[in-house]
Chain A
Amino acid sequence: MARIKSVADLEKLRTEILARRESERPSITLCSGSACHATGCGPVAAAIEQELKKQGLGDKVDFRRTGCHGFCEQGPIAVIQPEGICYLRVKPEDVPEIVSETIVNGKRVERLLYADPATSEKIAREAEIPFYRHQQRLILGQNREIDPKSLEDYLAVGGFQALSRALFELTPEQVVDEVKRANLRGRGGAGFPTGVKWEFTRRAPGELKYVVVNCDEGDPGAYMDRSLMEGNPYAVIEGLMIGAYAIGASEGYVYVRQEYPLAVSNLEAALAKLEKYGLLGKKILGSGFDFTVRVHRGAGAFICGEETSLIKSLEGLPGEPKPRPPFPAVRGLWNRPTNINNVETWANIPLIINRGAEFFNSIGTEGSKGTKIFSLVGKVNNTGLVEVAMGATLRDIIYKIGGGIPGGKKFKAVQTGGPSGGCIPESLLDTAVDFDELTRAGAMMGSGGMIVMDEDTCLVDLARYFLGFLSDESCGKCTPCREGIRQMLRILTDITRGQGQEDDLERLQELAETTRYASLCALGKTAPNPVLSTLNHFREEYEAHIREKRCPALACRELIAYHIDPEKCRACGACLRQCPAEAIDGGKKRIHVIDQDRCTRCGACLEACPEAFGAVSKLSGQPVPEPLPEEKRCIG
């Protein structure tokens, strides 16, 4: 392929690529995102390649390995085009059948189709599976059409049309204006209007300006940015280039976690290809726009996602935040005007330029436009990446897309916004996902982590977990963050251990307040959220732990005990064999008894006890019944 020196070159190449692709030609698309790698897409891919060759179909069927399709729970996922048949949990041994039945004979392999859990009805087409049907995948949807290492694939779906439109049909001011009119708000968490931020940097005095992609996603359980960077790096770079043109920057940086090896390698491959074809460098597409991009691999500190810390880290200094003002838009990287946006924000830009601000504005709520990608994890049937229009309710996401709570358990809370987000109780499940609505509910959008919890989760323990994470990840520079989180963590730990004091809630409240008001950066300012939101919505759980030494969710190890009901025990020995602490005494025809002093409360006995007996139970906040006297332990 020759260097692309003009829009005409680009369009000619696109026409050639499309012409080479007969639309009727069958294709197999295999999801090869990080989650599907973990569930074994590698051997499946090898099997597909081998089988196509074996059946002499190597040049008649397209095979493409793509980024994340989102339905991670059911991976590896293969989609057969043109029909759009979706096969789930594909194994290498399924491949010969897929090729000979579906590709050659046009028949479906029933057992690999999605089965509705309620009706057991099989659903063949991807678009009809409830998980996908209720989504609006404007950004993530491209993933399944693109091999992230192939520029041709990106051009085939209209790649770089937005860039050429920006460079040749719009002035930089018009691009900024389009983004402003689209009302795009930053997807990294704070939700600041992107166009306004661009304008600040554009107007800041200085010849040399920078644009930066923030791919330092560090929230436990969140992988939206990772999947976008892995699956569609070209869209992120195209967005970055459009932003650079609008702002007047000629150098860009991508700050990406080193722990995201696939994202790093796909990004680097994409950049190398763009340089080779002249889409990065001098006079891009024959315009006057010069732009280069460098990749910075972050060492994986949560605080480095905060923009002033990210800048320090890019400069080679410890990632610690700086007071704002001055804002990075005025004095950022090496004291030059710098605009930082998160991966998903940049990926939205080509869409806005291609389809216009009106289109973007037509999606979403009054205050939050467009779509948002969430990583739906925890106690929910369909875990994975979900993209919905802003305004979708949490209930729709969890029940319609997520398929509800597994194992017949009861929903308890959903935690949104990452470690410093908040917990939303069942009574607020009809809250719309919208920057302002989530904040009003005591949580936040954050970058889009969404953790569903069922009745078995203790929310005091959950708050303790997040505070533990934040205590480790705080940079430790300012007192209210470092000491406030540390003291809150200590109090929460005591409460979950049954050592809570009457005045703990008051101390938590004042620590939370001080940390929120007085901390230097957003990590500290939002760190009290897990405590405040659980205190607000689940105060009775705190009180039960403190006053009754009882964990209502039966989760805090130090507040529970396991007990074998003598009426129900059949002396089968199942629990006795599983107990790692040798805390169970029993024998043939002898009712089993747990020695509470030796018991480590691991729960192995409860799991081992046959369902038909159901003799083992968990107790909390009540005395364990005295064991039967020896002479009464004999049964049968």
Chain B
Amino acid sequence: MSDFFLQIDGKKVAAKPGMTLLEAAQTAGITIPTLCHHEQLEPYGACRICTVELEAQGRTGYVAACTHPAEADQVVRTRSEQLDRIRRVLLEQMLSHAPDSEELLELAGEYGADPGRYEKEASFCILCGLCVRYCAEVKQKHAVGFFDRGAKREINFIPEIAVKECWDCKECFPLCPTSALQAAYVLIESLMAPPQAESCGGCSGHG
């Protein structure tokens, strides 16, 4: 299929069908910040730091560049006062969980984010899901997953799988944008407390 053109930051950019806005921007050398994006993985759209302004069919809105398909005649802006504000707030929210992450602090500098704006609640995890998705999509082991939902959402290794798979792999550690040490800690913690079927009072009480 043939290429088409869209406009990003005032620049005419050629793109191919199937490309996302992020990919189109990257081919033109335009940088859009990302945290949960990884070239080897399916687009996910969770951290929303890549939010851009999109003008299409007479409407202007905000979309995640990493998941939104590029189409002919779109007009995209990757920086604006509003976008900078959105990214600043997102960074401040993530910094409350991972206050020492170098990657986050670097972006905080660029967007004027105050790492102390929201109370620290150091879980060290911004739930970008790179580890979860890498383990599922590339390694196909599913040794790490998301648990619970909403504000209680967290990642954890699944001990039964992790005990067999993780020691020789640990490929997810360096992917972590906040702290590889945290991944190690969560891994070890989950292996320290294997499920004890015998001690489960509820269901095995009669057995």
Contacts and interface: CB of A to CB of B under 8 A. Distances in A.
Contacts of A474: 149-151
Contacts of B127: 476-477, 479, 482
Nearest to A474: B150
A471 B85 contact: no
A510 B152 contact: no
Given A323-B68, A487-B118, A520-B48, A479 B126 contact: yes
A485 interface: yes
Interface string B60-90: 0010100111000000000000100110011
Contacts of A520: 45-46, 48, 64
A341 B126 CA distance: 34
Most central of A301, A489, A513, A517 by chain B CB within 10 Å: A517
Contacts of B69: 325-326
Contacts of B51: 517-518
Contact of B64 (A301, A323, A484, A490): A323
A479 B51 CA distance: 12
A115 interface: no
Q: Which secondary structure dominates chain A's binding surface?
A: helix
B8 interface: no
Nearest to A303: B149
Interface string A462-492: 0000000001111111111011111101100
Given A483-B94, A517-B82, A478 B46 contact: yes
Interface in B88-123: 89-90, 93-94, 96, 117-119
A484 B93 contact: yes
Interface size class of B (residues with CB under 8 A): 20 to 34
Contacts of A517: 51, 62, 82, 86
A473 B153 CA distance: 11
Contact of B93 (A325, A475, A476, A479): A479
A519 B151 contact: no
B151 A480 contact: no
Q: Which secondary structure dominates chain B's binding surface?
A: loop
Interface string A118-153: 000000000000000000000000000000000000
Interface string B28-63: 000000000000000101111101000000000010
A510 B93 CA distance: 12
B150 A473 contact: yes
A485 B85 CA distance: 17
A519 B68 contact: no
A495 to B, nearest CB: 15
A485 B93 CA distance: 11
Contacts of B119: 490
Contacts of B62: 517-518
Interface in A518-538: 518-520
Contacts of B3: none
Nearest to B45: A323
B85 A514 contact: yes
B150 A475 contact: yes
Contacts of A510: 85, 89
Given A513-B85, A519-B48, A479 B90 contact: yes
B86 A471 contact: no
A476 B151 contact: yes
B199 to A, nearest CB: 27
A487 B93 contact: yes
A484 B67 CA distance: 21
B66 to A, nearest CB: 9
A476 B68 contact: no
B148 interface: yes
Nearest to B49: A479
B156 to A, nearest CB: 14
Nearest to A472: B150
B151 A514 contact: no
Contacts of A471: 150-151
A605 to B, nearest CB: 36
A472 B152 CA distance: 8
What 5 A-B pairs come out closest when comparing CB atoms? A476-B153, A483-B93, A323-B67, A514-B89, A486-B151
Interface of A: 301, 303, 318, 323, 325-326, 471-480, 482-487, 489-490, 507, 510-511, 513-514, 517-520
Interface of B: 43, 45-49, 51, 62, 64, 67-69, 82, 85-86, 89-90, 93-94, 96, 117-119, 126-127, 129, 146, 148-153
21 contacts: A325-B68, A472-B149, A472-B152, A476-B146, A476-B153, A478-B47, A478-B48, A479-B46, A479-B49, A480-B89, A480-B90, A480-B93, A482-B150, A483-B90, A483-B151, A484-B89, A484-B93, A490-B119, A518-B86, A518-B90, A520-B48
